[in-house]
Amino acid sequence: MGLVTMKYEMMKAIKGGYAVPAFNFFSYDNLVGIAKAAAEKKSPVIAMATMSGFKVMGEHGVVKMAEGVAADYGINLVLHMDHCTDIDMIKRCVDNGFTSVMIDSSKKEYNENVEDTCRVVEYAAKYGVTVESELGHVGGKEDDIVVDDMSVLFTDPEYALDFVKTTGIDCLAVAVGTVHGFYKAKPKLDFPRISAINKLLPNTPLVLHGGTGVPYDDFREAIRRGVRKINVGTELKVHGVFDTCVAGFNSPDAKQDPRAVSKMVINKVASICSEIIDVMGSEGKAG
């Protein structure tokens, strides 16, 4: 038990044909809720900090928090930095004990994306830290990164093959029709594209971003076609934490005691995570 690499969990997921859920966290209660669900379901789980979360929670604090929560719940936990556009920040994550990082240079030209990703792979390799990178542009707003509708670009399978071979990344984030944030219309996933990428890269776990609001049957189909990590952030941030805090602090049950609200957040986050774990097929796959 303790912090493990994403690669470790991804290799098991490829063999087992399931996906590992990846949940964003922005606070301690948020992280505890994720760990509680993982422990109850005996599921592997990836806890993802963001660049802004890293700044708010503190770069040492966030790692110690993850180590402590993994020990308290007796679980393996992947501590991942999500969508990082700053290579110096990624290096600090690696130095401080993150077990997985995502370099996001997907908005740059292909060659620059390759160059940045190679730099991160080289640095992370010294510590055995897993690297995820994105090719194509997933739309919507993630943390402080905004991709407008006109800039969405689906991942090209041939480029994906070249990208993975050239950079040596462990996991590939693909743009196949999901968006960050809440959906304005029903999402339409490009399933043949997922299969085409998976056919060329059968040993590279594919990552689906923008999981909030995607119908569960679409998750299952994406997993059947080679997706091994699915990111869910907005649902936890808005419904799991924010709405629960607002209702909690206004509830007479809380009796002006923040611990009561913490418990509500932990339980709400855990219930959202448990439901998603069921869809991923990752229940009982921990260890």
Nearer to Zn ion, 241 or 261 (CB): 241
Choice between 209 and 229, CB closer to Zn ion: 209
Cβ 97 to Zn ion shortest distance, Å: 22
Smallest distance from the beta carbon of 48 to Zn ion, in angstroms?
9
Taking the complex as a whole, the smallest distance from the CB of residue 151 to Zn ion amounts, in Å, to 15
Site for Zn ion in 119-148 (CB under 5 A): 142
Part in contact with Zn ion (CB under 5 A); list of ranges 12-20, 42-50, 55-63, 209-217: 209-217
**Alpha-carbon distances, residue 132 vs 84, 172, 213 (angstroms):** 10, 6, 23
Question: In the complex, what is the shortest distance from the CB of residue 183 to Zn ion, in angstroms, rounded to a whole number?
Answer: 14
Q: Is 148 one of the annotated active-site residues of the chain?
A: no
Select 137 or 209, whichever has its Cβ closest to Zn ion. 209
Size of the site for Zn ion (CB under 5 A): 2
- Tell me the closest approach of the beta carbon of residue 57 to Zn ion, in angstroms: 18
CA distances from 170 to 95, 133, 144, 178 (A): 19, 8, 25, 21
Query: Per CB under 5 A, does 156 bind Zn ion?
Result: no
Rg (CA), the chain: 18
- On whether the CB atoms of residues 204 and 233 are closer than 8 A, the answer is no
Angstrom distance (rounded) from CA 155 to CA 188: 15
Name the catalytic one among 29, 72, 82, 156.
82
User: Among residues 41, 209, 228, 237, which is the contact residue for Zn ion, using CB under 5 A?
Assistant: 209
Instruction: Check binding of 104 to Zn ion (CB under 5 A).
Output: no
When asked if residue 116 is in the footprint of Zn ion (CB under 5 A), the reply is: no
Question: Residues with Cβ < 8 Å from 80, sequence gap 6 or more?
Answer: 6, 22, 46, 47, 48, 49, 98, 99, 100, 101, 102, 130, 132
Measured on CA atoms in the order 232, 25, 275, 265, is the torsion positive or negative?
negative
* Cα separation, 287 vs 283, whole angstroms: 11
Q: Which is nearer to Zn ion, 279 or 286 (CB)?
A: 279
- Residue 229 touches Zn ion, criterion: CB under 5 A: no
Length of the chain: 287
For Zn ion, the binding residues (CB under 5 A) are 142, 209
Where in the sequence numbering do the catalytic residues fall?
A: 82
